[in-house]
Structure 1
Amino acid sequence: MRIWAKRVPAAVAAIAMAFGGVVACSSPELDTTAAGVAGLYASALERQNPAKAATYTTAPAQAGESLAATLAAMKADDIDVEVDKPVQFSDGTASFSLKTTWKWQNKRTFTSVTSGNARHLSSGWRVTWDPDLIYSGLPNGGALRLIRTDATPSPKVRSSSGKTFIYEQQVNDLILDPAKTRNVVSSTNALATMLEPIAPLITADVIAEKLAAAPGKPIVAVTLRDTDMGLLAGAPDTIAGVSARNYGKLVMADRRLSSPLEVGLTNYWQAIRDATSGWQVQMTAPGSSPRKLVGEQGPAGPDVNTTIDENVQLSLGDAVVEVGQPATMLILDASTGGVLGFAQNSYAAERGINVDSTYPVGATLDPVWESIDAASGSDGQSRGRLLDRSGLGVRFTVPGASALVGVGPTVTAIDYKSDTTAVSMMNMGAFGVALARSRQNAPPVAPYVIKGVPTKVTGGELGEIGSTITEPVLEAMAKTVATGDASDLANAPGLKALVGTNGPQGPGWFLGLQDGKVVVIYTEGEKSGTAALQVAQKYFRIK
């Protein structure tokens, strides 16, 4: 029996390989000994090269497959493999142990110690392949994997009343893969028929359009909640090329509601989930449940409490579908700046309209420009400061609402030309709040959606703008309702409003103060000013 030094780090093998030309010619002992081949195997594993590591084993095909599966599933940032206690016997066999340390970000590690053997074959020494080299007790076909874990229960997004507004639920993507069916048309028709009881709008034509838009690729025909799957006229997997993918997703508690706010609120909710997520290393094996080896999980994250009013949100959703052109509507609490609701129709969603992007205001804010000009003495710097203070000249990043980065208002403190001046819906809403609060002798405040989470204001500071600006604007708003473009609106006692367009093709704007709320409507297309008034009238009729 021959015994080497107690420990042979994989780095020794790596150094030898670095001088491969010299070693191969003058000192081939390293890779022709049991310790040497174990070191080469360990070095390849550290480099996360399963194919290379497998070449040093007695069963390269099986080893390569098993090692590749574990390396892919573990997703390690770094691996340290140490060869320890190598012992070579006179009968052409040897033994050793491997200490493998898997490393990830945030100082997460997993260490295992396994026993290995080697044999001297006609081609030289080789590591005897056994899944135990990866982890003791790992069966054939098994693997190690790293998974993310999330605390339960998951946070809920709550409305201003404390009711559940959005929450996580299991949903199912029904996927049609044209490459997995011999008759795409037959599968399309069968899927549409199956969906009819629960999703009648997902017709065969709709599915065909999705397939045409992604030639040869799988498409998601529809996403259904778990509770809806039992209402299908059959089982999806009985249709050739159709499969279901189940996962957790945030959904509206009230099916009647939808809002662009879902994007921003989901992003915020996901940030909480990410911050409170845990991890786990598991051993998987065919026909067996995964077995936890190590891991950590912290407490569940807090619920997300918002300013959203479900009743207001429902009214907005009904109002924006009043017109057959892009229409988006934002309502804020006139006293606090809290966003009560935000909705848009399908035309606006297709256009990608949101609260952050800026859009031309045309003549809508002419009374505002006149008041600011008069108050500033037409001084450019003074005008700029007043625009910032009013909320029209700054950039708002509203947690739970803002989804874009790097898009800012283009209002300029020098020029108010109607064909160039543009503001965002959030700018318009903030200005409405500033007007309402001026009557309470209160300064402007930034709009917000999540309670206790402040909005970031950049590009200037909010502040007092004075009654010399607000009173003329409020008088102009009252006149617009009394004898102007908004005079036909009904069911809106005490309404004050500004209405305007940016030419025949719009866009159109409506800014209103009524019943302690700020109403902002943005429309696009022909006669968009009229469309904005139609949306406003529908809202006042049903709210």
Structure 2
Amino acid sequence: MIERVRPLRRRMVLPTLTVAAVVVAGCSSGPDQPDTVAGQFAEALEAGDAQTAADLTTDPAAAAAVIGGLFEGLGSDSPDVTLGGTGDGDTFELDVVWRLGPDADAAGDSGEWSYRTAGSAVDGDAGWRIRWDPAVLAPGLTADTSLRYVRTQGVPASVLDRSGQPLMEQRVVTLVNLDATADPAAVAPVLATVVPSITAESLAADLAAAGSGPVTALTLRDEDLAPVEARLLALPGVSLVAQTRLLTVDRALASPVWSGLAERWQDGQDAAAGWAVQSVESDGPARRVAGVDGSDAPDVRTTIDLGLQARAEAAVAPVSQPAVVVAVEPSTGAVRAVAQNAAADAEGPVALTGLYPPGSTFKTVTTWAALQAGVADPDTVLPCPGVATIEDRTIPNDDSFDLGAVPLHTAFARSCNTTMARLAVGLPADALTDAAAQFGLGIDYVTPGLVTVTGSVPVTESAAQRVESAIGQGTVTASPFGMAMVAASIVRGSPPLPMIVQSEPATADRTVDAASETTTAALRTMMRETVTDGTATALRDIPELIGKTGTAEYGDNSGAHGWFIAAQNDLAFAVFVAGAGSSAPAVEVAGRMLRG
């Protein structure tokens, strides 16, 4: 018997008729034996039909058990089996190829194992049958052994932060499993020492929902398991099962970007994985009979700044409403932090894909469009009445404050709705759409390791629509990630390509012209005035900070979200607090993060 390990290759899916054609080609055209029964046996194995193959042997019961076990152990019931030839008398040979692994029928094979076996046929009362011997299925297979497919790995990779410090590592965790015989009243006090919210009632409800099946009550890291392990093992119906998982090194860190980075890590593990077919004896160690060693997967080097991530998470944690921070490096597009509090986590990855009206933070886009169109400059004196009716749309300022006639930079810093609405009316229908795109809003980015949505700024066909869009209401939507990109683009002068895995920037669905440096510089100056003398003076102690506050009504306009977008040197970020009522909570979050 000859064993060959072939290199990995893509499996070709052939029409069903090909199988029969191959088998017929290997057999004689008439009833000569053992060609016919051997061909039928090969065809049944290739079809994954264990019972039909077993019925062609001299011991159907034993053969069915072994063939079924072989399919199960190798995780496949679709080998390629052809008649390799016949010898003298009643002997024959089979050529067998297994394509093994989770992707064996998809993009590529995890492993391909090929070999030739020999067998014989015998003519008995039931006609010609394969003389049953497990070795006819695979080399060395006996009644006392089984074969199994396993994946092999080198040293597990780590997920690193921007400075090379471990962010996520593969570690052992222990599942605390309960079966139907477990007593929730006895288990709950033990687990509550780790997670206080676990009660006898909650465990009983979980067990009832599972019916007769087991329930994983908790997953514990080693340091959490040690104090309670002995007590748990002493309880009936409780079992502890160890697994390996990718975990954050600092358990306190929680971000919606971890899942994408974990997928990227898993891709690397899969690409570096080897495989083995092991022969397992009932009372002995496993022995490898085929396979390829796995290699060490490369570490995933991210752009995450662990220090900033920790400060951002600490900044949003005290907020009762959903609150998020997204921070981007303007010069490179590196995503440095994405933080959500528990209330935001309950709604999903809203920092990256949640879409909301951006409110007055969108005035950065409106002002830039007006400057670029030449309809005003920062010193142009414009009216800022408390309320203005424009194209049948009545626009108030916050609490209807009235500045009278003021320079544009003052109206911007004080967030005058009426001024911005009047400016937008005179712009072309696509002016805000184009301006937003030049700041990355409305661009679709495909970023390795990160799923994001920036937002949407539809063309405004009517003046009334432009009034709404000018102040970030109406049909304009943005994600916190999208507004962080706006802030980064104002610093850079054009949208950076976002990136969370180092040296792997995103691709954009379109390219846009860079914004005018003259107008973006003017916009940055106005954003600085917003901090020193406008709506964000609570942060005036923070040097070189530029920003824009925003309050955005939603629903029936009875509630409002709070926004703050800002930049300091090569750090740009957006803060969003759902249902905050004003921008003040978002400004407070920014202050805690920057001063932290």
Q: TM-score, length-normalised on structure 2? A: 0.75
Deviations 1:231-260 (A, max 9, x none): 324265654444444333221122332222
Contact 2:79 2:99 in 1 (8 A): yes
Change (3 A) 1:388 1:133: same
Report the CA distance shift for 1:513/1:340 in structure 2 as closer, same or farther (over 3 A): same
- Shift, 1:182, TM fit: 3.6
Aligned to 1:143: 146
Residue of structure 2 in register with 1:229 after alignment: 225
> 1:401-438 CA distances to partner (integer Å, 9 max, x unpaired)?
32x6xx56212243526132111222211221222235
Instruction: Give 2:46's aligned residue.
Output: 46
Structure 1 residue 373 corresponds to structure 2 residue 370: yes
Task: Find the counterpart in structure 2 of residue 85 from structure 1.
Answer: 86
Determine if the alignment matches structure 1 residue 514 to structure 2 residue 568. yes
Letter in 2 for 1:467: T
Q: Aligned residues, how many?
A: 503
Check 1:103–1:161 CA distance in 2 against 1; reply closer, same or farther (3 A cut).
Answer: closer
> Counterpart of 2:537 in 1: which secondary structure?
coil
Aligned equivalent of 2:512: 461
- Supply the AA of the counterpart residue of 2:143: N
Match of 1:452 among 495, 503, 510: 503
Corresponding residue number in structure 1 for 2:341: 345
Corresponding residue to 2:358 among 349, 354, 361: 361
Q: Indicate which of 435, 445, 453 corresponds to 1:396.
A: 445
Task: Give distance in 2, aligned partners of 1:54 and 1:72.
Answer: 15
- What does 1:5-404 align with in structure 2 at a 5 Å threshold? 11=20, 15=24, 29=31, 33-74=33-74, 75=76, 78-82=79-83, 84-88=85-89, 94-103=90-99, 105=104, 106=108, 108-140=111-143, 142-150=145-153, 152-176=154-178, 180-182=179-181, 186=183, 188-208=184-204, 210-211=206-207, 218-234=214-230, 236=232, 239-297=235-293, 299-352=295-348, 353-376=350-373, 378-402=427-451
Deviation at 1:514, TM superposition (A): 3.2
* SS, match of residue 542 in structure 2: coil
Query: Alpha carbons of 1:463 and 1:172: their partners in 2 closer, same or farther (altered >3 Å)?
Result: farther
Q: Label 1:243 to 1:470 Cα distance change in 2 as closer, same or farther (>3 A).
A: farther
- 1:435 aligns to what? 490
Aligned mates of 1:13, 1:534 — CA distance in 2: 74
Contact 1:279 1:297 in 2 (8 A): yes
Unaligned runs of 5+ in 1: 1-8, 17-22, 89-93
Distance 1:391 1:235, change over 3 A: same
Structure-2 residue corresponding to 1:91: none
Q: Secondary structure at the match of 2:500?
A: coil
| Distance (Å, rounded) in 2 between the aligned partners of 1:44 and 1:121 | 21
295 and 342 in structure 1: CA distance in 2 versus 1, 3 angstrom threshold = same
Change in Cα spacing, 1:14 to 1:233, as seen in structure 2 (3 Å) is closer
Among residues 512, 536, 548, which one is paired with 1:498 in the alignment?
548
TM-score (norm 1): 0.82
The change in CA–CA distance for 1:223 and 1:12 in structure 2 (over 3 A counts) is same
With over 3 angstroms needed to count, the CA separation of the structure-2 counterparts of 1:13 and 1:510, relative to structure 1, is: closer
What amino acid is aligned across from residue 180 of structure 2 in structure 1?
T
8 Å CA contact retained: 1:114, 1:133 = yes
- Secondary structure at 2:361 match in 1: coil
Residues 137 and 211 of structure 1: CA distance in aligned 2, closer, same or farther (over 3 Å): same
Please give the alpha-carbon distance, in whole angstroms, between the structure 1 residues aligned to 2:119 and 2:588.
78
Identity level (%)? 28
SS at match of 2:583: helix
Instruction: Give the Å deviation of 1:62.
Output: 2.2
User: Structure 1 residues 485 and 451, CA, compared in 2 at 3 Å: closer, same or farther?
Assistant: same
Deviations 1:18-63 (A, max 9, x none): xxxxx9xxx8x46xx5443332222101111111111112222221
Aligned residue in 1 for 2:475: 420
Query: SS at 1:527's partner residue?
Result: coil
SS of 2:457 mapped into structure 1: coil
Distance 1:117 1:292 in 2: 27
Amino acid paired to 1:122? D
Contact 2:151 2:276 in 1 (8 A): yes
**Mean alpha-carbon deviation: is it higher for 46-55 or for 370-379?**
370-379
Q: 1:529 aligns with which of 583, 586, 591?
A: 583
| Per-residue Cα deviation, 1:186-208 (whole angstroms, up to 9, x for no partner) | 1x333333334444444445545
Aligned to 2:401: none
CA contact (8 A) 1:100 1:113 kept: yes
- RMSD across aligned positions (CA): 3.2
Structure 1 stretches of at least 4 aligned residues deviating more than 6 Å after TM superposition: none
Question: In 1, distance between residues paired with 2:506 and 2:497?
Answer: 6
Question: In the aligned structure 2, how far is the partner of 1:235 from the partner of 1:85?
Answer: 64
Indicate how the Cα distance of structure 1 residues 127 and 155 shifts in structure 2: closer, same or farther if over 3 A, else same. same
Determine if contact 2:172/2:222 at 8 Å carries over to the other structure: yes
SS of the equivalent of 1:351 reads: coil
Letter in structure 2 aligned against 1:448: M
Instruction: State the AA in 2 paired with 1:389.
Output: Q
CA contact (8 A) 2:326 2:351 kept: no
Structure 1 residue 389, shift from structure 2 partner: 1.9
Structure 1 residues 39, 371: CA separation in 2 closer, same or farther (over 3 Å shift)? Answer: closer
2:536 alignment partner, one of 486, 490, 495 = 486
By how many angstroms is 1:167 displaced?
Answer: 1.5
